[in-house]
Structure 1
């Protein structure tokens, strides 16, 4: 097989990550060539500030050594720039007069630093902060000179300032607005950041605009538009970058701010693609590593001919790489008329935390002084998760550093957002590969290999695993033998990837058994149905005998159970059942434990006729739904109002009969305590009292029986229906597939369930989403 020629223009992080993904999918499909203008191997540009801050060396920035390129038969051309692309002939030319043909071409040219168009910007001693060479110039200047000025109070400017200050220079930061990092922080966090950096010795000149850089051949100072001046031996321009689009523009590729691409990272020209900082997608140019990696993953599948997800944009997040300062922000961090916020502050400890909500969804967050919750919050923002799914008090569990934070984290919580590495993945790698250092974890899992912000968390995990607190019980079983992912990880991926069919999940998550099995297929179907109710709608509509709710018996015949809401019927219904039984020769009928009539021995040829002529809703005791509610009609000596229980049962069954549950849910209702004791083993039990209805949950039959616990009290039928509806929806949203109610009850806890049901702002969204799901299912089944 003749290999196709694939050329990558740009030896940076985004382009090489795309190649890594291509090599995972099909390592033998392409003959690959890479051109990089810089004379270096692929290195981590994001960690340049750590070199200035003496926390890393240039050698440690290298991501892929020459052996990696040789291993994958990649032709690497460093220090060589592509200057022309002929898209009609599918040829390119370099500044070394090299000409090559291609079948596929990826442009990953990155960005170029922006220099203020002011007099003196070309003087010696005025540098950007973008490349290894820029970093080397700053280190050399620090050995000869004393005073440095950084223009720009954004992330890069502050990281440069911190590095120069650590190198012994007297540093001033010039910024043209009222406060620092205004694109990433609110005013409160910004002022706290400024105070902390001032303690470290950095000075700030805010609301200043540079008019001219002073000096002869070399910079000597700066003059501002207000007439003031400041001395400077080194000036660092950190005022932003621009997409590097010159090559693309001259080659006929469509350009606006960046190279215009569609959801598959394709340009307007055939077989030419683009990823990274040079790209503009839906009007946005991304400069952060995670979006660029996501783009590379999408493109890799596209080039390899695999149907995959479209790139739909990314949630922006920021972490400041300054020693001794913890700063994180993500999403929309400023409030407006349509949003609200939750804030926590400890001025003594220097900690400030804020989340911004729109309706029930977290849309943004700012953390200063303690960013332990950053991964969790970013994940919630990305998933557009309702805050009701997490207790508000647990969003910011503590303002202190007491206790081991990683011990409390779930195995599926992300440690490395850039590369999508979870706590569980790190623990598994450490155990299987015998890893003992952060560097080994980085090479094995890629955690901390990009922005480096998670390096302390990785170190904390290693420390935790060596402590007495750690047990191997942290490892969670996989969903089934078809995948190495746990159930929680599968659900997370379905949400992140937006998968809407079981087939998509099996393909996109690289299922070992491409058809799935009896364990995973129904579980996947359930989870997709919960995340995308319209999918569950279509799925139910496709059911055959299940649509009729007929049950196959051992002898090949069928049985059907006409629905009698609350166990109540009338002479007309009974007469109809008897007539149908006579007509179709149904001789076996029984009263079920759930107080329904079961018609047995129905022939397959008669099934459609029986169901059609009954013209009654049919119930199935086998699907994972709310089962027929068992109602206690009371003993002869008890004079309580039996009708109240019958009517409540009928109302509950009619309201929730179409909803799929994680497992079968059995419910019992008793009009009074006289007849409630033998019902307490059900999933949900409702008992009538003088003050209303007592609602119990957590009961269990079978091997280890136990009675349910009192959950709450409802004063009326309507309140009981609302509370039970909220309880069922909370169970539907947070339980694992086939997790029984008592298991879920033990895992989530009585206190948490009560807090949700008793908080109007948490309960109402549950009721609304339950009603929406119910109507979707009812509409489809009625068609």
Structure 2
């Protein structure tokens, strides 16, 4: 019998049915909804996954599985080995697994009982927030762990403001200032405002939230407050049954409690003084528990505090032991790419890592940490120089070594996925059912899709059609500028206006030149929007759209300014650099706007290459423009 149909309880049920042909499994779900994947609720809130994708897989047909949905267990009698449900029915058991999870522990804030204050823990919470998301104008999220960050990003729309209060630390307490800075830049670039110098003292409103008072005296107009604070193990049911508890339900290395035949796994369990708020340790505990029940015992030795969060194309991980005391620490940072990586070495053995931003070697790093592999001196040099540990060409997932970890949540390796595929499991649901890969946070699904050679569409960028056609038109204009003949001079003075005045007349030439300079400066605002913390206005896709349109208008202004004349000497260099910078930017626009259609994994590499060339050419423009302006006035 299993009490609790969260991810850990479902994992235990699946393992029992898989490892035994005789056991009958009863699983009790206290929630009204069928078992669902709690780890993907923030993606559901953001609209990235649908309700059907939250389904937590239980065998569709099994005469040995009995599900009791919307049926809460009220009492456990460990002597008689029976449980009592909320309807007064008794159920007997031989072995009992308690997987009741944890409860939200909101901070004690005056006014937290008002309408408009939400906790975010269950599917019903997510559905309520999903309705609120479109109507809310000002959202305040309390709690800056993985769930708080994901919730703040998910609640952000074009029409609202979202504030994220950093109560103790951003993401994790072990994060240093540089790592926090990179992560904070990413959060702000998505339009979320971070408040890290004050906390909520009081929630205002006459029955319904209309504002918050901060500890520094500031008052903010707020209509929605979301509590994403800590959780505490749900242990009351076990405590009332006479099972030993402390912070959580006390268990040994086999996940047994002090009562015969009773086990506890997941967030409600406490092993060697440690409780976990993550799913992956719960999966391991469920497997250890089931192994003991089916008389194939293995032991649970505990896990270091691993932590991760992922939102769309950005992820962060804390892996292994990140304690730096008396250890060597290697750091690589690239703020332009929103990347921060820190490796912790015990001697030369890799024992921990902090990863902020995407890293294609993360799975391999996790494998090395698990095995305490030694890093060569060449690997450490490469890491400090380029942020990589292996000097390989960009390997596809199929070319990675067998020990490469594809699913960090479940520690599923590339070799295990390959073996499972050979047995005929060749769809994402089938791999999820067999290996539990890709069904927790979902971040490894693109890798699994690549192994299955099954394209997985990317997220759609706002204004993608307009950006695509504007980028294509820009490429055409650039081609015309390079190859079109110069516009001719008027052959007769009888015309009221001679067009050559635009190209050689002082006033006209200066006017078109300064208009072009202003357009170039405005188009550079996108770069400032990405990197300046104070610039958080609007969604980044809107800025990209404006950047694209400004670039196209600047091209038209350039034609008016030059009449398709490329110039000579340094003017020619300036012209070519500007056109190439615009060309590479247009190609980046084409790639980004069609990203959800083109699912080849190499496309991100192409886009990254064109982006680097684009940035390099843009760095040349200020110096060339300055020289061009000075020389124009000097020789005029």
Name the structure 1 match of 2:75: 84
CA gap 1:64/1:274 in 2 versus in 1, 3 angstroms: same
Q: CA deviation at 1:441?
A: 4.3
Kept in 2: contact 1:346–1:399 (CA 8 A): no
Separation in 1, partners of 2:265, 2:425: 36
SS in 2 for 1:112: strand
- Cα deviation, 1:692-747, whole Å, max 9, x if unaligned, reads xxxxxxxxxxxxxxxxxxxxxxxxxxxxxxxxxxxxxxxxxxxxxxxxxxxxxxxx
- Cα deviation, 1:753-772, whole Å, max 9, x if unaligned, reads xxxxxxxxxxxxxxxxxxxx
Q: CA deviation at 1:95?
A: 1.4
Q: CA deviation at 1:139?
A: 0.8
Name the structure 1 match of 2:41: 48
Name the structure 2 match of 1:8: 2
Kept in 1: contact 2:152–2:192 (CA 8 A): yes
SS in 2 for 1:130: coil
Q: CA deviation at 1:390?
A: 9.1
Name the structure 2 match of 1:58: 51
Separation in 2, partners of 1:25, 1:140: 42
Q: CA deviation at 1:100?
A: 1.5
Separation in 2, partners of 1:387, 1:69: 46
Q: CA deviation at 1:151?
A: 0.2
Match of 1:346 among 318, 334, 339: 334
Equivalence map 1:184-223=2 (5 Å)? 185-223=175-213
Kept in 2: contact 1:276–1:292 (CA 8 A): yes
Kept in 2: contact 1:321–1:453 (CA 8 A): yes
Pairing 1:224–2:224 present: no
Separation in 2, partners of 1:361, 1:368: 21
Pairing 1:450–2:440 present: yes
CA gap 1:75/1:182 in 2 versus in 1, 3 angstroms: closer
Match of 2:364 among 376, 386, 398: 376
- Cα deviation, 1:286-325, whole Å, max 9, x if unaligned, reads 111211111111110111122x221100133222221232
SS in 1 for 2:263: strand
Separation in 2, partners of 1:444, 1:32: 18
Q: CA deviation at 1:433?
A: 3.2
Separation in 2, partners of 1:70, 1:443: 13
CA gap 1:405/1:318 in 2 versus in 1, 3 angstroms: farther
Which has the larger helix fraction? 2
Name the structure 2 match of 1:325: 314
How high is the TM-score relative to the length of structure 1? 0.55
SS in 2 for 1:133: helix
CA gap 1:426/1:394 in 2 versus in 1, 3 angstroms: farther
Pairing 1:252–2:242 present: yes
Equivalence map 1:377-776=2 (5 Å)? 377-388=365-376, 391-392=379-380, 396-397=387-388, 403-406=394-397, 408-430=399-421, 433=424, 435=426, 438-439=428-429, 441-443=431-433, 445-463=435-453
Q: CA deviation at 1:334?
A: 4.8
SS in 1 for 2:194: strand
Separation in 2, partners of 1:311, 1:457: 29
Name the structure 2 match of 1:290: 280
CA gap 1:351/1:298 in 2 versus in 1, 3 angstroms: same
Runs of at least 4 residues of structure 1 off by over 6 A?
398-402
- Cα deviation, 1:134-166, whole Å, max 9, x if unaligned, reads 001111112322111100111100000011014
SS in 2 for 1:41: coil
Separation in 2, partners of 1:422, 1:162: 30
Separation in 2, partners of 1:20, 1:255: 27
Q: CA deviation at 1:394?
A: 6.5
Q: Which runs of 5+ in 2 are unaligned?
A: 457-636
Name the structure 2 match of 1:159: 150
SS in 1 for 2:18: helix
Name the structure 2 match of 1:686: none
Q: Which structure ranks higher in relative contact order (CA pairs < 8 Å, sequence separation ≥ 6)? A: 2
Match of 2:292 among 293, 299, 302: 302
CA gap 1:334/1:31 in 2 versus in 1, 3 angstroms: closer
Cα RMSD for the two superposed structures: 2.6
- Cα deviation, 1:63-89, whole Å, max 9, x if unaligned, reads 225xx2641432211111111111122
Indicate the larger mover: 146-155 or 213-222: 213-222
CA gap 1:62/1:194 in 2 versus in 1, 3 angstroms: same
How high is the TM-score relative to the length of structure 2? 0.67
Size of the aligned set, in residue pairs, is 453
SS in 1 for 2:156: helix
Kept in 2: contact 1:112–1:244 (CA 8 A): yes
Kept in 2: contact 1:438–1:458 (CA 8 A): yes
SS in 2 for 1:326: strand
- Cα deviation, 1:431-484, whole Å, max 9, x if unaligned, reads 66383x645543454321112121232234345999xxxxxxxxxxxxxxxxxx
Name the structure 2 match of 1:236: 226
Name the structure 2 match of 1:622: none
Kept in 2: contact 1:319–1:453 (CA 8 A): no
Kept in 2: contact 1:43–1:62 (CA 8 A): yes
Pairing 1:367–2:361 present: no
Q: Which runs of 5+ in 1 are unaligned?
A: 1-6, 467-783
Q: CA deviation at 1:393?
A: 5.0
CA gap 1:401/1:152 in 2 versus in 1, 3 angstroms: farther
SS in 1 for 2:267: coil
Match of 1:311 among 297, 300, 323: 300
Separation in 1, partners of 2:318, 2:104: 23
SS in 2 for 1:235: strand
SS in 2 for 1:270: coil
- Cα deviation, 1:22-69, whole Å, max 9, x if unaligned, reads 2222131x332211111122211001111112110121110225xx26
Q: CA deviation at 1:196?
A: 1.3
- Cα deviation, 1:88-137, whole Å, max 9, x if unaligned, reads 22221111111112221111000111111222111111111111100011
Separation in 1, partners of 2:391, 2:186: 18
Separation in 2, partners of 1:326, 1:375: 13
Q: CA deviation at 1:183?
A: 2.5
Indicate the larger mover: 241-250 or 323-332: 323-332
Separation in 1, partners of 2:439, 2:275: 23
- Cα deviation, 1:516-551, whole Å, max 9, x if unaligned, reads xxxxxxxxxxxxxxxxxxxxxxxxxxxxxxxxxxxx
Kept in 2: contact 1:265–1:273 (CA 8 A): yes
CA gap 1:184/1:22 in 2 versus in 1, 3 angstroms: farther
CA gap 1:465/1:8 in 2 versus in 1, 3 angstroms: closer
Q: CA deviation at 1:383?
A: 2.3
CA gap 1:226/1:113 in 2 versus in 1, 3 angstroms: same
Kept in 1: contact 2:425–2:431 (CA 8 A): no
CA gap 1:322/1:402 in 2 versus in 1, 3 angstroms: farther
Q: CA deviation at 1:254?
A: 0.7
Pairing 1:35–2:25 present: no
Separation in 2, partners of 1:223, 1:380: 47
CA gap 1:442/1:54 in 2 versus in 1, 3 angstroms: same
Kept in 2: contact 1:421–1:445 (CA 8 A): yes
